[in-house]
Chains A and B, each alone.
Chain A
């Protein structure tokens, strides 16, 4: 995997700016405000110092965007790895029913014999979460197992 160099700049009194220069030359990044709001920033094409867009996002919206960008890659990656094992599938399932509860409380493996191999939160993958991992709203669980097991798991995590 190619590493991207993210620059972290403190903005006194406001928050932090984290950004990186993409291959096309523009700067893309996020401003995290102290009060938890986010802003997506994209620099101008002709002046990399300034921004052509700064889009305010609520924490939920930022989470969703991060999921859209981050999760498919992770799933594709895992699918690649488990391809040669017949009958095993990887799927990403939204966790809506277990906010502020631990992974252990879902009892997913005993009930459906599937495994949560990672949790995607705000675009970051938390690999191999333990039983005491605490879910938050907007988490995506990356689950590996049989097709029937995954269907059952989806229902449990969704609050079935």
Chain B
């Protein structure tokens, strides 16, 4: 109990530091996890059982809230409007991770996991940065958001594939589980578009306590059933989130946000705990190289997508840089991969180092892209 209290209190302090510095708390949680546990400064023992369960709940809640964030109609119109930018985003940003994994000799499974790690932007960090910098009213912002929407849909397909491959199932078994999840996604989208309010009505309740219990219960149930069907638990929660819509979704988000923050923090710490800090220096150079390459590819993605919407040069730069941040979902993917034991241990170290870099670099770059761009523009005019 004392240890757990100390962990939470420590996380609170780290969160405060992050808030002061204006950066995402995720990298600090990871560092906190690294500092303790295996090979760290202070070994922490005896609370593994709780922390492990808490981190699993953290993943479910992260994905549930991701699903709640967008309504089914936003997802489908987003898909129609931005699929070209989305595909470009997927190809450009998944490739560096996959290539790095191949070069390191981690095989197809490792490549698939690393592709996901470098592909997915952190919608949490991006949305927060855009809000903090007062860019929500900007013209390029819908472009950025629709790329994020596409990434979320891609996750719904990617996660079951990854889970199936990690479980080491046969090709046919893998296809079945992908088939099941694709079917489930289609059904959920159709049901949510036509009968979303019925699903919302089932979990909705005017009483906070009842509502919270029903929500959490149904999320864990759906996630559990999904994982029994060999479709990742995270995907089940994500689909439930999409199916819940309207005012129910808003209330659910408001209620679950603090819970998610608590359990997700636990998840990041556990990930850090299980990563040996001594394994990071050997992969640091690779992480830096990946960071440089994938920053460039994300910026290009945003630039290209914004240009298609007729947005000026500065706006294109802003759109590109806004997408740079990676965070929670890269760690979720790395966590799934490491937990299965099918990938090299260095993957956790590489993913940690990479996310540490990108979660800090992303918001800072987003903040300073404007002054730097203006400086160059002015220089060109005077020259």
Contact = CB atoms under 8 A, between A and B. Distances in A.
B312 A13 contact: no
A10 B77 contact: yes
A35 B138 CA distance: 20
A148 B170 CA distance: 87
Given A41-B137, A50-B138, A13 B123 contact: yes
Interface string A30-41: 010011000101
A58 interface: no
Contacts of B69: 12-13
B145 A31 contact: no
A70 to B, nearest CB: 21
B142 interface: yes
A49 B136 contact: no
A14 interface: yes
B21 to A, nearest CB: 23
Contacts of A54: 134, 136-137
Contact of B142 (A10, A39, A43, A53): A10
B149 interface: yes
B136 A12 contact: no
B250 A51 contact: no
B74 interface: yes
Interface residues of A, number: 23
B137 A35 contact: no
Contacts of A13: 69-70, 74, 123, 127, 145, 148-149
B137 A49 contact: no
A29 interface: yes
Contact of B145 (A12, A41, A47): A12
A19 B145 contact: no
Nearest to B127: A13
Contacts of A39: 136-137
B312 A47 contact: yes
Nearest to A7: B139
A130 interface: no
Interface in B170-202: none
B136 A50 contact: no
Nearest to A47: B314
B260 interface: no
B70 A51 contact: no
Q: Which of A13, A43, A53 has the most CB of B within 10 A?
A: A13
Interface string A12-33: 1110010100000001010100
A48 interface: yes
B20 to A, nearest CB: 21
B146 interface: yes
Contacts, number: 74
Interface string B77-98: 1100000000000000000000
A19 B137 contact: yes
A9 interface: yes
B86 to A, nearest CB: 13
B145 A29 contact: no
Interface in A75-117: none
B371 to A, nearest CB: 12
A51 B370 CA distance: 12
A19 B148 CA distance: 23
Contacts of B127: 13-14
Given A13-B69, A13-B127, A50 B135 contact: yes
A9 B136 contact: no
A29 B148 CA distance: 24
Contacts of A14: 127, 136, 145
A11 interface: yes
Contacts of B370: 50
A34 B311 CA distance: 26
B134 A51 contact: yes
A9 B166 CA distance: 40
A50 B140 CA distance: 8
A22 B112 CA distance: 50
Nearest to B254: A35
Contact of A12 (B70, B254, B312): B70
Given A10-B142, A17-B142, A51 B135 contact: yes
B298 interface: no
A31 B250 contact: no
Interface of B: 69-70, 74-75, 77-78, 123, 127, 134-142, 145-146, 148-149, 250, 254, 311-312, 314-315, 318, 370
17 contacts: A9-B142, A11-B136, A12-B142, A12-B148, A13-B123, A13-B148, A13-B149, A14-B127, A17-B136, A19-B137, A29-B137, A47-B315, A48-B139, A50-B138, A50-B315, A50-B370, A54-B137
